[in-house]
Amino acid sequence: MNKIVFAFLSGIFLLYACGESSHKKNSVKTPAHSQRKIEVPVFNEDSAYAYTERQVAFGPRVPNTEAHEKAAAYLLAFFRRYADTAYPQKYDVRAYNGTVLHATNIIALINPSAKRRILLSAHWDARPYADHDPNPKNFNTPIDAANDGASGVAVLMEMVREMAKHKPGLGVDIVLFDVEDYGDPSNKTEDSYGLGSQYWAQNPHVPNYQAEFGVLLDMVGAKDARFPMEYFSLNYASDIVKRIWNTAEKLGYGNYFPIEPGGAIEDDHVYVNRYLGLPMVDIIHLDPNSSNGSFYEYWHTTGDTMDKIDKNTLKAVGETLLHVIYED
């Protein structure tokens, strides 16, 4: 992903601490849990790692390439195997430079008839430029996108595989967004990133689509990753942020999910909230010490490769989300 990082306003963190949201109409109250024993599936980090590796093995998943087509077929076959239903949302979209991109959002449903639903998402495409690579000669080199794309998809794949064996008590919609990372390197073109989420949010797979909340996974596989509370997530869905981060802390993953403010990231969740009014949280690796503008150190470089992926991080994210869903 490549979005603008804004200075974080400390006031919103105070709102979080007080349990309030400046967008109360979009907040979702955490339900009271019963005393019944809840069986939560076990997240297999080895499987998630293998799913990441399998995506990367296709080569950079850049739209209009053979690698992109093969990866789409693989992902669609996977979700058709484990989800109750899965299908592609195909569309053409014009990139910032005028190129027409043949894109596919991949949609999978668990418990499609359930009225209560949540949305889980990630982007599956790879960036066509290593525009933040330390070597300027690599600027036009497509990246493997092991962390920036494949890791989030892999976590969702393993979650769906577990859900197939033990269904949750609500409906889960998975949307893998395409053409998220084919944006203007100069950042001069407004809304040039997140083209797949923009398309889906304006053309959802169900007319007048509604869900209680959504979660976006972006760069969730690097070693010792930290996911501070992203600004717009707190604005849109402060109750859900608290619920996820508190669950992570309870499970012993507080080092990954620090209760501290992060930057404001114009990611796919912004478009989902903008067009659908759906409160959505972005779990994204942010590092204020990075040389890469507060993002993951190897973001948009040729170094975003499989050797940077850590099974423990994948497990921390996947296990946390499974507990959020099954303990609902």
Q: What is the CATH number of domain 5-326?
A: 3.40.630.10
Q: What is the pLDDT of residue 223?
A: 97
Name the one residue in this structure whose structure tokens are 């001069």: 188
**Long-range CB contacts (< 8 A, 24+ apart) of 184-192?**
184/96, 184/97, 185/129, 185/131, 185/139, 187/2, 187/4, 189/96, 191/271, 192/95, 192/96
Digit-coded pLDDT (tens) for 23-65: 333 444 444 444 456 799 999 999 999 999 999 999 999 999 9
* Distance separating alpha carbons of residues 239 and 250, to the nearest angstrom: 16
Looking at residues 227-242, what average pLDDT do you find?
Answer: 97
- Coil, strand, or helix at residue 30? coil
> Are the CB atoms for 159 and 316 separated by under 8 Å?
no
Q: What is the pLDDT of residue 4?
A: 52
Residue predicted with more confidence, 304 or 12: 304
Digit-coded pLDDT (tens) for 187-232: 999 999 999 999 999 999 999 999 999 999 999 999 999 999 999 9
222 burial class (0-12, 13-18, 19+ CB within 10 angstroms)?
A: buried
Q: What is the pLDDT of residue 34?
A: 43
Tell me what percent of the residues of the chain surpass a pLDDT of 90.
86
The domain ranges of the chain are 5-326
* Distance separating alpha carbons of residues 53 and 314, to the nearest angstrom: 13
Digit-coded pLDDT (tens) for 118-175: 999 999 999 999 999 999 999 999 999 999 999 999 999 999 999 999 999 999 999 9
Residues 6+ apart with CB under 8 A from 200: 89, 105, 175, 177, 272
Residue predicted with more confidence, 146 or 7: 146
Q: What is the pLDDT of residue 1?
A: 61
* Distance separating alpha carbons of residues 148 and 169, to the nearest angstrom: 31
- For residue 14, pLDDT over 90 is answered with no
